[in-house]
Amino acid sequence: MPWAGCFPATGYPLSETLPVSWGSTRGPPPEHTRSWNGRVSSPAAGAVAASSPPAPARSTCLNSSRRLLEKPIMEALGLGFTTEDIETAFTMRLAEWRERRLQSATKMETTPRQANEIRFSGSHDIAVELLASHLSSLHPDIRLTTSFVGSLAGLMALEYRDADIAGAHLMDTESGEFNVPFIRRLMPSETVVLVNLMQRVQGLMLAPGNPKHIAGIHDLKRPGITFVNRQKGSGTRMLLDSRLLSLGIAPAKITGYKREESTHIGVATLIAEGQADAGLGAESAAGAAGLYFIPLLKERYDLVAFQETFGQSPMQRLLEVVRSQSFRKMLGSIRGYDLSDTGTTTVISPKQKKDEEQ
């Protein structure tokens, strides 16, 4: 199929034909960046909206949206894109559009849990947005609501039952293990289930072409380099602070260290718009914005839930989606993801000293 593995970069207008950039330049060395002009969208993912019109107008609005979407969908299918490609493209565009409009709220609203609702709280990744969209497509009666507050805050929300599932990628600097040491310390008396969503590459996201010739984190302290950070408590922020400590670099020496964004897409967007030179984030977000990327670390991103919650029907449907071939195909089209452990579960019991792999 043509342009396999590509995905869009900018904006989300429904009624305009826009150029769509695919991929990122990863360096060093640089790689080819592909492009395709056209409009892509997905009727299935269309259920994910930032706001809803008044009830009397909703039916008319949905019908109008379907008519607007039909032509670009047919064009994309005619060019050889699969329905999974189209849904992936739509969801990633929607993620960036939502980031620009709503600025990604940093605190979870503690509203009462609705029937068949799964409340997610944790670290941002495009894969989570794709999961919410695909779950809605396959199981319209189940809704995954997301609050991107960072890994640590997500685990705390889970602990206090303000979330049903958390997303985390916290690395223990002593053992090099991801997530498990933090869960044991935060919830020592709970039985917890981890589901690996994917492994991803974290690194430096830089302006296209790397015009300031940044080679690594040590260059962030150079005069004339502006940085944009992730919020406190996020796994990405903790990774940066750990690297700075090991290099003996004081955060005060980095221009923009205190400037925070709550998502990878938010960081990537600011760099793409020329408002910053560098930021730390996932390769998937760098690719979505067409940025230059220097890989630093491969990390595990896990979904975390209490065992009693995990056994409930909505969570089991969620696990089915994570393990489905259609979802894996969507993630496989995005660079920077390793799906070798996707869908595997790990049970952490307070009575066990070792994890039990299922």
The residue count for the chain: 358
Q: Residue 199 carries which side chain, given as an amino acid letter?
A: Q
The total of other beta-carbon atoms located within 10 Å of residue 101's CB is 11
CATH number at residue 56: 3.40.190.290
Domain assignment of residue 9, yes or no: no
Domain assignment of residue 63, yes or no: yes
Strands 292-306 and 165-168: antiparallel
Domain assignment of residue 11, yes or no: no
φ/ψ bin of 103: left (φ > 0), alpha (ψ from -120 to 50), beta (otherwise): left
Domain assignment of residue 105, yes or no: yes
Return d(Cα 205, Cα 203) in angstroms, integer. 6
Domain assignment of residue 124, yes or no: yes
How many angstroms from the chain centroid is the CA of residue 134? 14
For position 353, what pLDDT does the model report? 40
Domain that holds residue 106: 19-357
Q: What is the pLDDT of residues 44-103, one digit of tens each?
A: 333 333 344 444 454 555 565 666 677 677 666 766 677 777 777 677 666 655 554 444
Return d(Cα 153, Cα 167) in angstroms, integer. 10
Burial 38-57 (b: 16+ CB within 10 A, else e): bbbbbbbbbebeeeeeeeee
Least confident of 96-100, 193-197, 209-213, 261-265: 96-100
Domain assignment of residue 12, yes or no: no
Opening angle at CA 183, ends 187 and 259, nearest 5:
115
Predicted structure pTM score: 0.68
Mean pLDDT value of segment 244-264: 94
Percentage of residues of the chain with pLDDT beyond 70: 69
Q: What is the pLDDT of residues 271-292, one digit of tens each?
A: 999 999 999 999 999 998 999 9
pLDDT of 37 above 50: no
- Number of domains observed in the structure of the chain: 1
Q: What is the pLDDT of residues 312-330, one digit of tens each?
A: 999 999 999 999 999 999 9
Higher-pLDDT residue of 228, 24: 228
List the structure tokens of 136: 């809605």
Return d(Cα 99, Cα 215) in angstroms, integer. 28
Mean pLDDT of the chain: 79
Domain assignment of residue 8, yes or no: no
Return d(Cα 314, Cα 232) in angstroms, integer. 31
Domain assignment of residue 3, yes or no: no
For position 86, what pLDDT does the model report? 74
For position 310, what pLDDT does the model report? 92
Cα–Cα distances (Å) from 166 to 153, 205, 319, in that order, read 9, 25, 14
pLDDT of 342 above 80: yes
For position 72, what pLDDT does the model report? 72
List the structure tokens of 331: 């993630």
Question: What is the secondary structure of 286-345 as a DSSP string?
Answer: HHHHT-EEEEEEEEEEEEEEEHHHHTSHHHHHHHHHHHSHHHHHHHHTSTTEE-TTTT-E
Higher-pLDDT residue of 311, 342: 342
Q: What is the pLDDT of residues 111-160, one digit of tens each?
A: 556 778 999 999 999 999 999 999 999 999 999 999 999 999 999 999 99
